[in-house]
Structure 1
Amino acid sequence: FLHLSHLYHPLTYHLSPLSIPLDYLQTVNPRRYPSNPLVQQLWEALYGCSPSPSLSPSSPLMPPCSGKETLLEQHSAYMNTSSPRVAYNVYKAVYAIAHSLHNLLHCQAGAGPFHNRSCADSTNVHPWQLQHYLQEVAFYISGEEVNFDLKGDSIPYYDIINWQRGSGGNMEFINVGLFDGAKDSGKELVIQEEKIVWAGHQSKLVVSVCSASCAPGSRKAVRRGEPLCCFDCVPCDSGKISNQTDSIDCTECPEDYWSNADGTLCIPKVVEFLSHDAMGIALTVIAVVGACLTVFVLVVFLQHRTTPIVRVNNSELSFFILLSLTLCFLCALMFIGEPTSWSCMLRHTAFSITFSLCISCILGKTLVVLAAFTAARPGNNIMKWLGPKQQRVIIFSCTLVQVLICAAWLMAAPPYPSRNTQDQLSKIILECSVGSQLAFWCVLGYIGLLACLCFILAFLARKLPGNFNEAKFITFSMLIFCAVWISFIPAYVSSPGKYTVAVEIFAILASSFGLLFCLFAPKCYIILLKPEKNTKQHIMGNKK
């Protein structure tokens, strides 16, 4: 190395980073450099022996070297002198020291970097003083900038080396790229992929994995007892997604979102309610047809209200039943469409009150029929207690009870629209929550009580004499009514989503059609098709 006195003017010297001669490396041995610890460590690594056991306290168990060990060709890593990287680093280090000493020795008195702006003593330079200048040094060598940061690190510059086997079978180190920290962000790394030779002399990257990568929409499941690179790709469960390759776990979608078919994206859940789709339109048409048919029967009865078959069956109660049946058909329309606060309250109360009115009228008709035949017995004047006023009181009282139940229901816990996300996790079901379950089942129970009472009374009067005994038709109509609503309960509880509402509408329409046909179809048949039977003699059983 250069003597410090020669570094007064370091820029006048030019140290060339030449490659170290191979002949010189072959002459290196512990006998020539007995006090060099690097040679000691090199011999220990290459031959597993200690040239001077007394100088190698770190490896006391190594046997002593024979002294005849020489560097051979198989020590290619050490003998390779094709790359001057190490020598070039030494070259830059000497220049960095030279520039630092140059700046130190040319310090102007009173403008120094140390205490009281003093300079270092050129005859007694301390290491910390030289280090100060070393951290601030900056110079160029062959177009490359050399400087250091506060931590003493220089700008990183790395060659990317690819080990390749040459044509003669020897190992070659090919430069295929570099990393230059002095370049702009994103441009530091440069790789020449066409120069890279992979294992097996292949120009393309060899894929050496146990399992292929898991695509988005699935997650990795490690196989028990196998390496981590061996795994199965398991599709994400419904409601969870993974949008990256080789995801370890799937992410659950938010409450109002659901996974798409591929399991890669959370999409808004489908909002479902009984709208005016195919099913809604079909139920609407059936309800409107039922209401129109009921109005038609009402018109027929009005036109033939003076005929015996209409008068003998209490025309006023028949008109009340037809009007209430029309309302029953029309109230089914309120169950179709998006639930709102008003529609939820109106649909349940209107349904319960109209059906209570209808069954109350049928109950009054049943009592009149039963009383009419009982009054034919001598000394029985029960009909005076079932006149038109009493019939209206019975209808009003029975309906009032249902009105009071509905009023208490609306005041305590009325029905309200709700978003059901539990029954079907992939959908948001808009439905009307009944509010008070007790009130809901009390409403249905009261309608069932009236229907059962009608059925029992009509059943008792089914064998009473008469050519046109209406008790038979009331019995059959109540039997159908009760069968529909008894089957409605399990179907209502088990139906999912909008089909719950559809089941309720079907029960309303089925029971309404059952009452309409059972009570009025026989009368309309005689009025329209068999007018010869619409006589008092035929109805009383006297055909003469």
Structure 2
Amino acid sequence: MAQLNAILLLHFTFWPLLCIGLQSQYKSKIKCVFQGDEDTYSFYQGGDVVLGGIFPLHSSPISSYSSFKTKPEPTKYQFFTPRALRWMQTMIFAVREINQRQDLLPNLSLGYHIRDSGDDIPVSVKRSLLLVNGQPERGSGQSCEDIQKQPSPVIVGDAASGVSMAVLRTLGPFKIPLVSYFASCSCLSNKREFPAFMRTMPSDLFQIKALVKLVHYFQWTWVGVIGVESDYARFAIQLFLKESETFNICPAYVHFYPVVLMQDAVEELVNILKSSFATVIVNFSGESELHSILKECRRQNVTHLQWIASEAWATSKALWGNFGDLLKGTLGFAIRRADIPHLGSYLRRVNYSVAQKSQFLSEFWEETFRCQLNASLNTHAHGEEARNWPPCNCSESLDDVYTPYLDVSQLRVSYNVYKAVYLIAHALHDMTTCEPGKGPFQNGTCGSLSQIMPWQVCLLYFMKRTHFTTLGEEVRFDDNGDPIASYDLMNWQRESDGSLQLVRVGFYDASLENEKDLVIDEPAIMWHRGEKVCAPESLCSKSCLPGSRKARQKGKPVCCFDCIPCAEGEINSNDCLTCSKETWPNQAQDQCIPKTLEFLSFQEPLGIILWAFSAFGACATFTVSVVFIRYRKTPVIRGNNIELSFLLLLFLCACFLISLTFIGKPSDWLCQIRYPAFGISFTLCISCILAKTVVVLMAFRATLPGSNVMKWFDPAKQRSSVILCTFVQALICIIWLTTKPPFASYNTKFMSAAIIVECTVGSEVGFWCVLGYIGLLACLCFLMAFLARKLPDNFNEAKFITFSMLIFFAVWITFIPVYVSSRGKYMVAVHVFAILASAFGLLLCIFAPKCYILKSLVLFSSCTKSILVAS
């Protein structure tokens, strides 16, 4: 139906346009016959160049039935928009301001021809054609020179992207420039399709980037996206969904609703809003479409939503009066604002007498004061209510009421209109200052100001290349005719008196670096719950706790997931990430940190205890050595092979001290010392015991008649046997150290959060050969002692050696499985414990009885002396 209406309207308006195209050659022959409506509702003032303007003074057309057998009735609308009237007046104000300047177009006067687009494509196309044609007086037989209103070579408008696209497709073949002040669709940047389009409104491409970054900033990953069924909303939502993928933002739903909302469509939309878990709603529409939606939200008690406004309604105060409770806390990006000097006083010039002279102002007056002035073009849209309005009188004053028309606190779209007029003025000024012969066109021409022909693209050429400064802002355009994007982040806050306060809580500047283009003052934001503390949540699934990972739910977007615990050694992310061998998750399990180094340290309790026992054992051995030295001439000492006893005490002390090399942070040289030193020291001890045991046996054999065996076991031979036994162990150690020596290593296999610093034995064969050789000597020693266990009491040292070997075997047989099954510092502690236990066993079993006998002898001797003295 809308397309058919557009075709009929084009039929009534296209013929006059053809008259313009032919009048240069057939000016005297062609007669213009106006076949459409008079449509005299407009603001008009003549001039050397008349600027056209189309503004959505009315919106939401009321559908009516057309039979196409009679002339259609004028379109009726639901809403009159005082803001759009302010935009119209801003254009008039800018034209008059330029005409009063001497530095800009001093010899050229500007005029204006402004019409209402009705925010409707057929009406906008028709009235844009009227602007570029001019309008002859009613009747026929007039020449095209006798037109009443001058044609406009350029149009300022329209607000809606869809309407602008329709107008551009109609006027495009004639290269008539269209400068929009509010059309933001990124599709309009396509110069191949819309070569004559420019705008002072940033492209939606930048607004969408700002909106997506805003949503990402507050970690809203599950948002509802709705928009009116229009080119503007479709392109904007398409860009929003594409850009959201970069930040893992998911749409809970995407819903388009018709421009003319019926009750069933409104209920369907609100049911979607109510049933979804998404609490954040991004809405791409104008203010007129929101009335019905918000009304139904209130009826169904849907009051928990956080609205995110597109720039089309981010500063629309008209919605606050009836729906302030629903819209408080709204966030949205608004285009750059400015204070236009003297515009407020100019707008206030409208009074009762001025309103009577214009149909637009008359309707504004009637809508503002609810009275009848001139029975304006749209009063009948209010039905019975309008018929009951009282007549207007001279007592009404704009000072007594609030109207968006007079609100100059948020001049954003108005500022864009202002810049659009100045853009055209500066382009015309560049044309006037162009020197003939140096112009940009063929043969150096500059273009004609006396008769601007759109198809010569003279004006459009200069418009695309102009830049200027107005109200302190430098206005520039890119290759697509788009200005540099800059937005203010606005927050809808309720004043104490209930009125709306639009608070700037941040900004977005596309000229800044990627990570610095969005700045938000979060503490200044008032949310829809009336709080300034924290932002509301809008998630499909809550974030996983530390130590768990996301697992997508089948058939749902990436924002919907379950949380599955991560395995040990992994940090939580979209997937559990395994830390490297040298790192481990921190306590929050959100990053990998270096592992702690673990080794048997002198500072920890276990290391201190082992160190204390080692020192005690060495001191005890030294004490026994002192006792033996003091009583070396006693029969007890002399009869037990004093030389081997002293050697054994020396080597036992070495065993206690060598255990200290196992405590502390391992290094390569320390590892290469500790194992050979341990093996050789214990070999010396067992060799000495073995020699003592053999001497005991041989001494008994020597008491037999004719025995000459003791000559083979004199002290020199005993020392040689100890050296020989030790030489074999030393040879094993030398081969071990030269082939595959021990070394310090950092073990990450067994401990989770720590790196074990340990001595790796290098050659397993070498290590077990050292232990095996010590075991072999111990077995020989045990066997010899066992054979000598029943010798007379004078040679009863064999019993103690037997006991010491039993303890030695018990320690080291237990040591092997415990050592193999232990890890880290506990493995080292087991090794040290085995060394200390076996050393203490040897010390106690062999030397403690002798010390006890010496003590008894000393007590007996002292008692004997006392008795003798007493007698």
Please indicate the TM-score interval, normalised by the length of the shorter structure. Answer: 0.7 to 0.9
Question: What is residue 582 of structure 2 aligned with on the other side?
Answer: 256
Is 1:221 aligned with 2:551? yes
Change (3 A) 1:194 1:490: closer
Residue identity matched to 1:273: F
- Shift of residue 491 of structure 1? 1.7
* 2:749 maps to which of 418, 422, 425: 422
Question: What is residue 462 of structure 1 aligned with on the other side?
Answer: 789
Distance of 1:335 and 1:197 partners within structure 2: 65
Distance of 1:192 and 1:262 partners within structure 2: 26
Q: Secondary structure at the match of 2:541?
A: coil
Distance of 1:90 and 1:32 partners within structure 2: 33
CA RMSD of superposed structures (Å): 4.9
Is 1:518 aligned with 2:518? no
Q: For the Cα contact (< 8 Å) 1:287–1:329, is it kept in 2? A: yes
Over residues 427-467 of structure 1, what are the superposed CA-to-partner deviations in whole Å (9 max), with x where a residue is unaligned? 12222222222212111111111111111222222223445
Residue identity matched to 2:597: V
More off after superposition, 142-151 vs 173-182: 173-182
* 1:501 maps to which of 817, 828, 834: 828
* 1:270 maps to which of 580, 596, 600: 596
Q: For the Cα contact (< 8 Å) 1:218–1:234, is it kept in 2? A: yes
Q: For the Cα contact (< 8 Å) 2:617–2:840, is it kept in 1? A: yes
Q: For the Cα contact (< 8 Å) 2:446–2:458, is it kept in 1? A: no
Q: For the Cα contact (< 8 Å) 1:273–1:498, is it kept in 2? A: yes
- Shift of residue 412 of structure 1? 2.4
Question: What is residue 20 of structure 1 aligned with on the other side?
Answer: 57
Over residues 154-199 of structure 1, what are the superposed CA-to-partner deviations in whole Å (9 max), with x where a residue is unaligned? 4557899999xxxxxxxxx99998999889857989999999996x
Question: What is residue 606 of structure 2 aligned with on the other side?
Answer: 279
Q: Secondary structure at the match of 2:446?
A: coil
Unaligned runs of 5+ in 2: 1-12, 25-44, 74-119, 126-258, 264-287, 293-315, 319-403, 406-411, 493-499, 862-871
Distance of 2:426 and 2:475 partners within structure 1: 11
Q: Secondary structure at the match of 1:339?
A: coil
Q: For the Cα contact (< 8 Å) 1:273–1:430, is it kept in 2? A: yes
- Shift of residue 366 of structure 1? 1.2
Give the alignment of 1:346-495 within 5 angstroms. 346-466=673-793, 468-495=795-822
Distance of 1:300 and 1:77 partners within structure 2: 109
Residue identity matched to 2:801: I
Change (3 A) 1:26 1:214: same
Over residues 43-71 of structure 1, what are the superposed CA-to-partner deviations in whole Å (9 max), with x where a residue is unaligned? xxxxxxxxxxxxxxxxxxxxxxxxxxxx9
Question: What is residue 152 of structure 1 aligned with on the other side?
Answer: 481
Q: For the Cα contact (< 8 Å) 1:162–1:175, is it kept in 2? A: yes
Residue identity matched to 1:374: R
Q: For the Cα contact (< 8 Å) 1:134–1:148, is it kept in 2? A: no
- Shift of residue 302 of structure 1? 2.5
Distance of 2:712 and 2:525 partners within structure 1: 114
Over residues 473-529 of structure 1, what are the superposed CA-to-partner deviations in whole Å (9 max), with x where a residue is unaligned? 212211111121121112222222222221111111100111111112222222212
Is 1:133 aligned with 2:459? no
Q: Secondary structure at the match of 1:529?
A: helix
Residue identity matched to 2:831: E
Distance of 1:24 and 1:480 partners within structure 2: 107
Question: What is residue 659 of structure 2 aligned with on the other side?
Answer: 332
Over residues 370-419 of structure 1, what are the superposed CA-to-partner deviations in whole Å (9 max), with x where a residue is unaligned? 22223334444322222222222211111111122222222223322222
Question: What is residue 27 of structure 2 aligned with on the other side?
Answer: none
Distance of 1:195 and 1:325 partners within structure 2: 79
Is 1:309 aligned with 2:636? yes
TM-score (norm 2): 0.48
- Shift of residue 301 of structure 1? 2.3
Residue identity matched to 1:314: N
Question: What is residue 62 of structure 1 aligned with on the other side?
Answer: none
Q: Secondary structure at the match of 1:232?
A: strand
Change (3 A) 1:116 1:529: farther
* 1:232 maps to which of 562, 565, 574: 562
Distance of 1:181 and 1:512 partners within structure 2: 79
- Percent sequence identity is 48
- Shift of residue 533 of structure 1? 9.7
Is 1:9 aligned with 2:48? yes
Residue identity matched to 1:357: L
Q: Secondary structure at the match of 1:295?
A: helix
- Shift of residue 144 of structure 1? 8.5
Distance of 2:668 and 2:569 partners within structure 1: 30
Distance of 2:778 and 2:522 partners within structure 1: 91
- Shift of residue 238 of structure 1? 4.4
* 1:212 maps to which of 537, 542, 546: 542
- Shift of residue 280 of structure 1? 2.0
Q: For the Cα contact (< 8 Å) 2:552–2:562, is it kept in 1? A: yes
Give the alignment of 1:33-44 within 5 angstroms. 38-39=121-122
Distance of 1:105 and 1:343 partners within structure 2: 94
TM-score (norm 1): 0.72
